[in-house]
Amino acid sequence: MKRVAHLDSQTVLRSYSKIRAIYKALKRSLNQPKLLLFLSEFVKPGELVFDVGANVGNYVSMFLKLGAKVVAIEPQQDCLKSLVSRFGNDDRVSIEPVALGAQEKQSFIYLSEVRNPIASMSEDWIKAVKQSGRFRFFRWGSPQPVSVTSMDKMIEKYGAPSFCKIDAEGYEHEILKGVSFPLGRLSFEYHIEYLPKLESCLNTLAELGPYSFNFTVGEQPFFKSSVWLNSNDLLKMLRTFSVRTLQGDIYGVLDKNRSETRKLPN
């Protein structure tokens, strides 16, 4: 009798993830004109953008197409190699090999054994997305050391960004705690099974200034709400969704800057 080779679950997931990544890349390519139009309401030519959690630079590339200067902030070594390969000779891009948090320190990031976009510095987030079923069978390997600095320190070095994208898999609140004055326009990721931390993010922003919010689902290049929302109404709307693994991005605009957003992408 022939022996059947045992396939480790992470090997199967990696194979599936590669196929899914190719599909998402094709979809992203087809949707790029719509996404660029959507982002153009927040990123103007000549402005400075912080891409926090830049990964391999897909959004860096789009910000450059919109005429922005970009600070790409990413702690993962493999992702940094991709960033250097793609943008190392582009004087419009500054690459920072660090993580952001509430203060300067040495910490750890948990690397996914399947795909690098879901590396996280939050053990609570990892627990939440496993329990919800989103990444039930995924494993995160041994923590890797990373240097952490604050958004304030990045602003001291480069100046205040006109737009800040934050994609940190559950570490968004720690990053926002490292900002001492309001950012005019920003986005940060949410996961429906991790709403308490989203609420903490909104409370932290409220301490900095009056914001209005909207949100996307997945990578769709349009907002789900036809109007800008306050934090309470945003949370109420998100809680109406029955999908336990809903995720997307929250967009926040200081109320005094809303007039600069010419139209509401939808």
Which of residues 115 and 112 earns the better pLDDT score?
112
* CATH classification code of 9-260: 3.40.50.150
Query: What is the C-alpha to C-alpha distance for residues 24 and 19, in angstroms, rounded to an integer?
Result: 9
pTM: 0.88
Which tens digits make up the pLDDT trace of 168-198?
A: 999 999 999 999 999 999 999 999 999 999 9
CA-based torsion, 187, 189, 194, 197: positive or negative: negative
Highest-confidence segment of 20-34, 64-78, 238-252 = 64-78
- What residues does each domain of the chain span? 9-260
Q: Quick one: what percent of the chain has pLDDT higher than 90? A: 73
Residue 2 has pLDDT above 50, yes or no: no
Backbone angles phi, psi at 138, to 5 degrees: -80, 155
| Mean pLDDT confidence for 190-208 | 95
| Average of per-residue pLDDT values in the chain | 89
Residue 113 near residue 144 (C-beta atoms within 8 A): no
Please state the separation of Cα 203 from the chain's center in Å: 19
pLDDT of res. 5: 46
Query: What is the C-alpha to C-alpha distance for residues 132 and 1, in angstroms, rounded to an integer?
Result: 40
Q: Which two tokens stand for residue 186?
A: 């920003």
Query: What is the C-alpha to C-alpha distance for residues 184 and 43, in angstroms, rounded to an integer?
Result: 11
pLDDT of res. 13: 58
pLDDT of res. 87: 98
Task: Label residue 18 by pLDDT band (50, 70, 90).
Answer: low
From residue 106, how far is each of 55, 102, 132, 146, 185 by CA, in Å? 20, 12, 30, 6, 29
Which of residues 22 and 129 earns the better pLDDT score?
129
Element (H, E) at 149: strand 140-150
pLDDT of res. 164: 98
Which tens digits make up the pLDDT trace of 128-168?
A: 999 998 888 888 987 999 999 999 999 999 999 999 999 99
Q: DSSP string covering 19-74, please?
A: HHHHHHHHHHHHHHHHHHHHHTTT--TT-EEEEET-TTSHHHHHHHHTT-EEEEE-
Residue 208 near residue 155 (C-beta atoms within 8 A): no
Query: What is the C-alpha to C-alpha distance for residues 162 and 47, in angstroms, rounded to an integer?
Result: 6
Residue 262 has pLDDT above 50, yes or no: no
Q: Which residues pair with 249 in a beta bridge?
A: 189
Which tens digits make up the pLDDT trace of 227-256?
A: 999 999 999 999 999 888 889 999 999 987
